Amino acid sequence: MSARPATEPAAVPPEIQTRLEAAGLRRTLATRAVLGLFLASPQGTLSHAQALASLTARGLDINRVTLYRLLDRLAACGVLQRHADDGARTWRFCLADAPQEGLVPRFECDACHRQFRLTEASEPTRAVATDLYRTLARLGHQGQRVDLSIHGTCAGCIPAAQRGTQEPLA
Supply the minimum distance, in Å, between the C-beta of residue 108 and Zn ion: 9
Nearer to Zn ion, 10 or 154 (CB): 154
Supply the minimum distance, in Å, between the C-beta of residue 70 and Zn ion: 27
Nearer to Zn ion, 17 or 153 (CB): 153
In this structure, the number of other CB atoms found within 10 A of the CB of residue 95 comes to 22
The residues that touch Zn ion, with contacts defined as CB under 5 A, are 109, 111-112, 154, 157
Supply the minimum distance, in Å, between the C-beta of residue 157 and Zn ion: 3
Contact (CB, 8 A) for 87 and 151 = no
Nearer to Zn ion, 137 or 157 (CB): 157
Q: What single string gives the DSSP state of each residue in the chain? A: -----SSPPPPPPHHHHHHHHHTT----HHHHHHHHHHHH-TTB-EEHHHHHHHHHHTT----HHHHHHHHHHHHHTTSEEEEEETTTTEEEEEEPPPGGG----EEEETTT-BEEE-TT--HHHHHHHHHHHHHHHHTT--------EEEE--TTTS-HHHHHTTSPP-
Nearer to Zn ion, 42 or 59 (CB): 42
Supply the minimum distance, in Å, between the C-beta of residue 154 and Zn ion: 3
Supply the minimum distance, in Å, between the C-beta of residue 85 and Zn ion: 14
Nearer to Zn ion, 32 or 113 (CB): 113
